[in-house]
Structure 1
Amino acid sequence: MDHIEEQIAHLTRMVEDLSDVVTAQAREIDRLTRRVGLLLEREAEREAQEGGAGGTIPLADQRPPHW
């Protein structure tokens, strides 16, 4: 019986530790999602200010020079 109680205590601790990790990862994902959104907005504003640049292809859509 003691062995089972030890296993349960160990598993409970592991679940708590994993929960902490998942919570930290969720916060980091939220932070990175906000940053990507801001970068996308900034890039859209930059492209709008350039006025389309006479039909040039946006840098993100251009093929690398080795293609």
Structure 2
Amino acid sequence: MKISARNTLKGTVKKIVPGVVSAEVTLEVAPGVEVVAVITKSSADSLKLSLGKEAYAVIKATEVMVAVD
């Protein structure tokens, strides 16, 4: 896989919550560290996502903000 995004996190699919139009996908990228993405149901189907399958969280953003209380 070649991609222009610089931030990719390899993980394992831990949870999929399918909806009518979208799917919420949880990837575990390290023990106890999860990334959740909402993608189209069509994309989830075409990627053949299933529990335990390896996948990548690809993060493409122009800004990353940090906040504290």
Alignment TM-score, normalising by the size of structure 2: 0.21
Select the structure with the greater relative contact order (CA < 8 A; seq sep ≥ 6).
Answer: 2
**Whose helix proportion is higher, 1 or 2?**
1
- Larger CA Rg, structure 1 vs 2: 1
**Whose strand proportion is higher, 1 or 2?**
2
